[in-house]
Every structure is written in structure tokens, then in C-alpha cells.
Chains A and B, each alone.
Chain A
Amino acid sequence: MSKQNDIRYLNPPTVEAKKKKYCRFKKSGIKYIDYKDPDFLLKFVNEQGKLLPRRLTGTSLKFQRKVAQAVKRSRHLALMPYVADLLK
């Protein structure tokens, strides 16, 4: 048993300090998310044009709702696709 506990690393294992996520809207003081700007909204969808979850983008709940609303409006006006592949 003691042998198993005796694992020695050649190099000390590097534990990366996790970068703290932040809400970009709160940080930069954006109050309104424009549905007419598809290039900006592209940051919040994946290659298939689906909305990215908050846990990946770090957006706060308040602004995630606004992002979702803006993306949906943008899709309705054919500024963004409902379905796509290789969007990026």
C-alpha cells in the first residue's frame, strides 16, 4: 500500500490557476444588446448557430436573457441562421 502512495513526479505537477470568468457586459458597461449587429452576436453561438451556455461564456443571467432575445430577433430577420454548420 505504501508503494502506491509513493508516486513521485519527475516534474512537479502544474496546477493551472483557473481564470476567473466575468460578464463582458457588466465589465464594459454595455446596457443594450442590439439584434441588428449579427457580427457581435456571433460570439455567443457555436458553429451550428446554437446559443452558447452561460457556463462557457461567463455572461451573467441578466445579460444572457438579453443575448438570447437579441439572437432570436436576429434570426427572425434572417440576419443570423436558425441552423447552420461551419458558421465560424
Chain B
Amino acid sequence: MSKRYETVFILTPVLSDDQAKEAAKKFKKTITDLGGKIVNEEHWGLRKLAYPIQKKTTGFYQLFEFSGEGEEIIGNLEVAYKRDERILRFLTVALDKHAVAYADKRKGKVAEAKTKKKENAA
């Protein structure tokens, strides 16, 4: 039985938009290399922090939702986070059945908003 996880991390605002996307891509690859399957991803962009972290007041937020098996994947992912100096903060949580239902609903909403945006643009 594979478990669903959700991981959010904050990248330093020193990076440019492209660099932030690049870093996010790197971690996406880390997850897939470790045997995780990406279910959903959200890029929240540059956000103000509620309190300064490492003297930074803003950060790029990135969310990945993935399913995987075993504890090693989480351990290895968090080691990768710690080794990377661009990461200000990270949080990984396992999702229970209610959380999975919520996440699926959220995913649907985000996708809907995106298509609507496209429709409006077109």
C-alpha cells in the first residue's frame, strides 16, 4: 500500500523566477528518482513570510503532492532539502483519508481556476 504525502518548501527570494522554477524542478526529479509519483504540484510564487527566516522576509513557496512507498523516500528527500542552501524551510506530511479527499478536491479547484483563466484570456 502506497501512502500519499504532501511536501511544501520555501526557497530563498534571492533567486530569480526562473531559478526558483529550476530548483523546484530539481526537487521534483529527486522525488521521482526516489520512486515517488507526483500527484499534484502548486507553485505559489513569491509570498510574504509571517516572520523573518534567515533575515529574509519573503520566499518562493512550492508544494508537491506525491505517493510513494516506505519511509526511505521521505528521509532521503529531507536530507536533500537540508543539503540545499536555497531552502529556507520545508514540511512533509503524510495525508490521511480525509486529507486525501480534501487534496483531491483542491486539485480539482485549482485546475478549474486555471482553465477559467485560459478561457478568459482566449
A and B from one complex: yes
Binding site for B on A (CB under 8 A): 31-32, 34, 36, 38, 73, 75-84
Interface residues of chain B: helix, strand, loop or mixed (majority): strand
User: Of residues B49, B50, B61, B96, which shows the largest number of chain A Cβ atoms within 10 Å of its Cβ?
Assistant: B50
A73–B91 CB distance below 8 A:
yes
Chain A residues positioned under 8 Å from B93 (CB to CB):
73
Binding site for A on B (CB under 8 A): 8, 10, 49-51, 53, 59, 61, 63, 89, 91, 93, 96, 98-99, 101-102, 106
Chain B residues positioned under 8 Å from A82 (CB to CB):
51
Chain B residues positioned under 8 Å from A81 (CB to CB):
50-51
Interface residues of chain A: helix, strand, loop or mixed (majority): loop
A78–B101 CB distance below 8 A:
no
B45 CB to closest chain A CB (Å) equals: 14
A77–B89 CB distance below 8 A:
yes
Chain B residues positioned under 8 Å from A78 (CB to CB):
10, 49-51, 53, 59, 89
Given contacts A78-B49, A79-B50, contact A31 B59 (CB under 8 A): no
A31 CB to closest chain B CB (Å) equals: 4
- Give complex CA distance A38, B48 in Å: 13
Chain A residues positioned under 8 Å from B98 (CB to CB):
31-32
Given contacts A31-B98, A31-B102, A77-B89, contact A36 B50 (CB under 8 A): no
Chain A residues positioned under 8 Å from B99 (CB to CB):
32
Q: Could you jot down 19 A-B contacts, CB within 8 Å? A: A32-B101, A32-B102, A34-B102, A34-B106, A36-B63, A38-B50, A75-B50, A76-B91, A77-B8, A77-B89, A77-B91, A78-B10, A78-B49, A78-B51, A78-B53, A78-B59, A82-B51, A83-B51, A84-B50
- Give complex CA distance A75, B50 in Å: 8
B106 CB to closest chain A CB (Å) equals: 8
Chain B residues positioned under 8 Å from A79 (CB to CB):
50
